[in-house]
């Protein structure tokens, strides 16, 4: 079976999810399809604050940050909260859509690492060029982020994410079922094993 991984580089929780989803899918004989979308545009459309954590009260914001650190420790991955947050990711997302499908996984991981480990700005094209080089892709691919076709592809992907029922990032879709959040990967594994969903579960 396939897991659609809907993500935006702007989310540290999406970073954490992308470090684990291939492991979870592979253990159940599944495969991952990378689905970049523009989280801010989704939030605007569904009426969510553009930077949700900024709208939280102090206690909730503190615990959200603690959750990030705790999950990074559980997963055994590094995490450095980006000093430029909220980061602009339009070019990075378009670049991912412009990349060959077979190269998208390595590129996703490299840009996520640049953003959430190396504390680099994914809006910086020099950063994106280094990410391309590190996964064996030509820097000239960056020229495609301005192509109308690629711009339209990101708009269409964002609309599809909303139509699918994604309320944020990351979201994992297995069959007809949507699981929101990197802490829902156990549910993804169950779905891949063919376990029946909860009786109340609907898209």
Provide DSSP, 124-146: -HHHHHHHHHHTT--GGGGGGGG
Residue 113 CA from chain centroid, whole number = 12
- Partnered with residue 193 across adjacent β-strands are none
Q: Calculate mean pLDDT across residues 25-38.
A: 97
How far is it, in rounded angstroms, from Cα 133 to Cα 138?
6
- DSSP H helices, the chain, are 12-18, 21-27, 39-46, 52-55, 58-75, 90-98, 101-116, 125-134, 148-164, 185-192
- What CA–CA distance (Å, rounded) separates 60 from 136? 41
Confirm if 109 and 134 have CB atoms less than 8 A apart. no
Q: Is 62:183 a contact under the CB 8 Å cutoff?
A: no
More confident residue, 26 or 59: 26
Torsion of the alpha carbons at 48, 92, 96 and 174, rounded to the nearest 10: -20
What band does 200 get if pLDDT is binned at 50, 70 and 90? low
**pLDDT value at position 198?**
66
* Reported pTM: 0.93
Of the listed ranges 58-62, 64-68, 107-111, 149-153, the one predicted with least confidence: 58-62
How much is the average pLDDT of 164-172?
A: 97
Query: With bands split at pLDDT 50, 70 and 90, how would you rate the model's confidence at 55?
Result: confident
Instruction: Classify the C-alpha dihedral 178-180-184-185 as positive or negative.
Output: positive
Distance of alpha carbon 166 from alpha carbon 161, whole angstroms = 6
Q: Which band of pLDDT confidence, cut at 50, 70 and 90, is reported for residue 12?
A: very high
Alpha-carbon span 135 to 140, nearest angstrom:
14
Our CA angle for 144, 150, 153, nearest 5°, is 165
Residue 195: pLDDT above 90? no
Nearest Cα to Cα of residue 104 among 16, 170, 34, 25: 34
* Banded model confidence at residue 194, pLDDT cuts 50, 70, 90: confident
For residue 57, what pLDDT is reported? 82
Per-residue pLDDT at 201 exceeds 70: no
């Amino acid at each position: 079976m396939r897991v659609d991984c809907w993500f935006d580089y702007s989310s540290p929780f999406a970073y954490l999810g992308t470090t684990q989803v291939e492991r979870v899918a592979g253990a159940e004989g599944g495969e991952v399809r990378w689905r970049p979308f523009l989280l801010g545009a989704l939030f605007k459309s569904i009426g969510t604050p553009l930077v949700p954590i900024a709208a939280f009260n102090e206690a909730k914001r503190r615990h959200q940050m603690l959750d990030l650190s705790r999950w990074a420790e559980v997963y055994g991955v590094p995490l450095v909260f980006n000093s430029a947050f909220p980061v602009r990711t339009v070019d990075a997302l378009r670049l991912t859509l412009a990349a060959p499908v077979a190269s998208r996984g390595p590129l996703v991981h490299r840009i996520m690492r640049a953003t959430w480990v190396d504390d680099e700005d994914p809006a910086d094209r020099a950063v994106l060029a280094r990410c391309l080089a590190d996964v064996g892709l030509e820097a000239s691919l960056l020229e495609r982020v301005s192509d109308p076709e690629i711009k339209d592809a990101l708009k269409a992907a964002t609309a599809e994410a909303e139509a699918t029922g994604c309320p944020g990032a990351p979201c994992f879709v297995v069959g007809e079922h949507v699981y929101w959040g990197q802490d829902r990967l156990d549910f993804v594994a169950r779905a891949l094993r063919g376990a029946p969903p909860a009786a109340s579960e609907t898209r």
